[in-house]
Structure 1
Amino acid sequence: MSELALTGILTVVIVGLWATGKLPEYYVALLFFCVAMLTKIAPAPVVFSGFASSAFWLILSGFILAAALRKSGLADWLAYRFLPVMSGSWLRMVAGVVVLSWLLAFLMPSNMARITLLMPVVMALADQAGVASDARGRIGLALAVGLGTFELSASILPANVPNMIMIGAMESGYGAHITYLPYLLLHAPVIGVMKGIVLTFIIYKLFPTRMEKKTFDATYPPLTAVQKRLGAILLVTVMLWVSEGVHGIAPAWVGLGAACLCLLPRAGFLTSEEFAAGVNVRSCIYVAGIIGLTAVVTINGLGDWMGNQLIHIMPDTRDSPFLAYLSNTFIAGALSFAVTANGVPALFTPLAQSLSEITSLPLMTVLMTQVIGYSTPFIPYQAPPLVIAMAIGRVPLREGIRVCTILALVTYLFLVPMNYVWFAITGWI
């Protein structure tokens, strides 16, 4: 059997297992490593390239920082400081939750950690603001946390798993790299700000809620010495992330440095037992597996082969940059139905070179078009963090599907064209 055919079979099986969830994702990743090495489908440095990727280390660092934030109480302190301004009206509350979900992504790189932190705090806010326990508004607030956390965070480079997988796949497949601030300026106006406004309006209209007139207790203890110390570390970390273009240190290594400070014996914030309990190593292995699979697909030419097949079914868009941009976005969105958002970069990124040749768009532009595609689920299962948010917030599946579908339709009808215009204004098209 040819190396290309073997790569194709392995890719279909591994991606299929990740998509169906029949086996734990970390086990599937380990299975990929095992089969790839036994069949000698690629050299070991390629198969295990995910462990050398910045994505792996940034996600690991994100879990450590999130655990430190929770243990120190600084996360609660930060959240409660935002809450008093949200209690004046239902619109203000919804908007406040959406904004807080997005802003927290600048501090905590883990979607799951942010959802775990925010959901109980937002439900407590609903209690103090007079939202009845059986009110539909609670469902709306839970969805605001879930969708605000997952979809809006795609506009921030180190803030979610698909972004990191994409960056890792870009590095291993093409040697391509985009820094923190240019990425933020490219995606934040539409995916962050405009989509946040649309999400706020949808939640506000679909879940109208009357709030009782209650006095909001905004008192909270002052920062402790431990919280101040962790806050200073986080402030420096964020500043270094934002200024990557100046000093040239990748976000992963900045995050790893901050994580090391958090784990420092006696002077840090986490014990070895808390590290073991608070860090989801399984997710890190899963990410390493996806990046490794992407590298194998790229080096063995499967991405090029798939791109050549697309040439025969895609219309010629060389003379229409908008149709070229639109087709790339739709491909990314369609892939998420099969492999969820986390798996899209693993399939789309190896195709980027071929798609660039088909559409005459620059390679980096093609790579960036996938972001709005994989960050816009039509159904909750396409975004695992949203499923977690719905479970914690006790959101009925039909409500999650309804809001996801409406938001996705508005995104593709209005925000995707708007995003194209922004790409053109900023010189990416």
Structure 2
Amino acid sequence: MSTNSVAGKSILAFLIPLAIGGIIWFYPVPDGLTPQAWHMFAIFAATIAAILTQPLPSGAVMLIALCVVIFTKTLPEAKALSGFASGTVWLIFCAYVLSLGFVTSGLGKRIAYKMLSLFGGSSLGIAYSLGVSDLIMAPAMPSVTARSGGIIFPITRSINDVLGSAPGATGKRIGDFLTMVCFQFTPITGAIFLTGMAANPLVASLAKSSLGVEITWGGWFVSAVVPAMVCFCLMPLLVYKLLDPELKRTPEAKAMGKQALGELGAMSSNEKKVAFGFVLALVGWGTSLITGLSATSVGLGLAAYLFASGAVSWKSLLNDHAAWDTVIWFSVIISLATGLADLGFIKWMTIKLGSGIQGFGAIESFVLLGILYIYVHYLFATATGHVAALYAPFAATAIAAGAPPMMVAICFGIFSNLMWGNTEYGGGPGPIYFAQGYFERPRFYKINLCVVTANVIIIFAVGMLWWKLLGYY
């Protein structure tokens, strides 16, 4: 690509958000909104556009948006900075600390190889062993790119190499099957835990500020685990049927897992410390209603323990740019989204959306909005941008139509994970798996559409039965 072409795209990446923000800002304020609320929406829309066009890293985009909000007096300084005091931000930060412990200690790889040594005797066994590994690490690793792309993917690639399944002529031996299954496992495992994906705490924050629904760590888990685990169990069978890998029995993979475990040796001191902290955190998060400790308090205690025990060093955390970047952009997006709700924009948007689904019943509206919410992700290159822009208005509209608030909040939270399985650009691990070359794009999209659609049907069918039993409606 020529230098002029690159420069042109870079300029366009700046101009698109500016144009969107400027057009909305100077457009006449609609009836039912204050100028302040409309200007807040202009800044928010420009910020989301900038996240998509990426003229600058997301943290820098958010700091600029924060300054615009303050200097235009759209929000008071205290409110604009309130996101940095959000417990949600620090919960996700603490989960990054634990994630770092899994990676640097080698515990994540040990778990994956152990699962492989136990269940890797068949192509389906390999798939489920990698999925269970992802599931075990999910509550501790909110970065799906680190979890799936950094731990699961390298092991998957090694298995494909050992079994002689490279992209091209030998891809159908097992390589395309394992690549697709591992790509689709992560949205499912992320949906089970509040800390399973970086945008999940944002969902919880928006549910509280915009919907009046409080979702605890334990509440999310109990609500999501049954429908999501049905997806977890059935998805590999569907992909197996669609792709029909040539290799059915794979004793080599089981042997590879045992050999890798032997090379790792006994658990190191740091692995034991991280494992102990992980178990304590799960107990703390799961018993928050009994102990009265919030998920954030438990997370901070976990981070303190990992630093004090030496399992994670402060220096290594300083080098983890993703963790610090998350603190910045997450804090600002919470401030912006909360500002939209406080200024009445979400309520106004809910009324407008609601007028478009008049004549539908509560459940019909809920299902229709859920389907629109998940498939519109084809237009987004980031789950966080999608959640920040659409979660509150879509969920609020479903609730206004009569759908039960907790059911809506949880279901849309689950969909906020499943949706990025539609494309290779919709979530962090996508480009990593797609770049292996096992799939042409049309085939990749076709299989993803089948898998995501099956998951949506399962969530609606099984989820609504489960949520009925939980008393949500």
TM-score scaled to structure 2, two decimals? 0.81
Q: 2:112 aligns with which of 65, 76, 79?
A: 79
Query: Does structure 2 conserve the Cα–Cα contact (< 8 Å) formed by 1:180 and 1:245?
Result: no
Instruction: Look up the equivalent residue of 1:261 and give its one-letter code.
Output: Y
1:213-233 Cα offsets, whole Å, 9 max, x none, are: 537041431112232222212
Q: State the distance in 1 between where 2:325 and 2:389 align.
A: 21
Match of 1:41? 74
Matching residue within 90, 94, 97 for 1:61: 94
The question of whether the paired residues in 1 share the 8 Å contact of 2:277 and 2:302 is answered with yes
1:276 equivalent to 2:323? Answer no
3-state SS of the aligned residue for 1:314? Answer: coil
Matched, 1:224 2:258: no
Kept in 1, the 8 Å contact 2:115–2:132? The answer is no
Q: Is the 8 A contact 1:153 1:159 kept in 2?
A: yes
Name the structure 2 match of 1:122. Answer: 156
Partner SS state of residue 360, structure 1: coil
Q: How does 1:12-411 map to 2 (within 5 A)?
A: 12-115=45-148, 116-128=150-162, 130-134=163-167, 135-136=170-171, 137-173=174-210, 176-191=213-228, 193-205=229-241, 206-210=243-247, 213-214=251-252, 216-217=255-256, 218=258, 219-220=261-262, 221-264=265-308, 267-280=309-322, 281-317=324-360, 320-339=361-380, 340-351=382-393, 354-355=396-397, 358-377=400-419, 379-381=422-424, 383-390=426-433, 393=436, 396=439, 398=441, 399-411=443-455
Matched position secondary structure for 1:227: helix
Q: What is the CA–CA distance in structure 2 between the aligned matches of 1:411 and 1:33, rounded to whole Å? A: 37
Deviation at 1:381, TM superposition (A): 4.9
CA 57–330 in structure 1, closer or farther in 2 if over 3 Å, else same: same
Q: CA deviation at 1:331?
A: 4.1
Shift of 1:73: 1.9
**CA 1:349–1:197: 2 relative to 1, 3 Å:** same
Cα distance change of structure 1 residues 300 and 131 upon mapping to structure 2, 3 Å threshold: same
Aligned-residue CA RMSD (Å):
2.6
Inter-partner Cα distance in structure 2 for 1:83 and 1:332 = 36
Runs of 5+ consecutive residues of structure 1 not aligned to the other structure: none
After superposition, the Cα gap between the structure-2 partners of 1:395 and 1:353, relative to the gap in structure 1 and judged at 3 Å, is: closer
* Sequence identity percentage: 18
Judging changes above 3 Å, is the alpha-carbon distance between structure 1 residues 379 and 397 closer, same or farther for their aligned structure 2 residues? farther
Between Structure 1 and Structure 2, whose CA radius of gyration is higher?
2
Give the direction of change, closer, same or farther, for the CA distance of 1:124–1:334 in structure 2 (3 Å limit): closer
Gap change, CA 1:409 and 1:212, over 3 Å in 2: closer
Displacement of 1:314 in angstroms is 1.0
Q: How many equivalent residue pairs?
A: 423
User: Are the aligned partners of 1:67 and 1:279 in contact in 2 as well (CA < 8 Å)?
Assistant: no
Contact 1:119 1:392 in 2 (8 A): no
Q: In structure 1, what is the Cα distance between the partners aligned to 2:139 and 2:318?
A: 25
How far off is 1:36 after superposition?
A: 0.6
The TM-score normalised by the length of structure 1 is 0.89
> Is the 8 Å Cα contact of residues 84 and 216 (structure 1) preserved in structure 2?
yes
Does the Cα contact within 8 Å between 1:233 and 1:258 map onto a contact in 2?
yes
Query: Would the alpha carbon gap of residues 336 and 252 (structure 1) be closer, same or farther in structure 2, given more than 3 Å must change?
Result: farther
TM-superposed deviation, 1:240 = 0.9
Q: Distance in 2 between matches of 1:239 and 1:185?
A: 14
Aligned residue for 2:293, secondary structure, equals coil
Residue 21 (structure 2) aligns with: none
1:279 and 1:65 map into 2 onto residues whose CA distance is 15
